[in-house]
Structure 1
Amino acid sequence: MAKDLYMKIVTECIETKEQIKFLSVVECDIIQGIYYPKPMTVDQFETKYMALVD
């Protein structure tokens, strides 16, 4: 129904890869939850992920 009304669908409390797979099948637009890392500062992000780019 939300898609028919051109609304974005947000699902919260996602904890597993299986939930993410299911939500992609049903065309969920935004996924939030503890499956993904907590928000971090730019410095924390660069320290954690920039080494993967090199």
Structure 2
Amino acid sequence: MKNEKLAVVTGASSGIGKELAKLCAKDGYHLIIAADEPAIQQAAAALGSHGVTVEA
């Protein structure tokens, strides 16, 4: 991932964290997302639809 953008977003399964992760994905950032909820897996799948790599 040389010269590629990467963002780490916590609380990405809902609320502000989810919206921030979505904005990053739309802007081409690969993501590392975290939350203490099982919904993080669904969020990762949805964010991956923007053509970026997402690790939950």
Same fold (TM over 0.5): no
* TM-score with structure 1 setting the length: 0.38
Structure (1 or 2) with the larger CA radius of gyration: 1
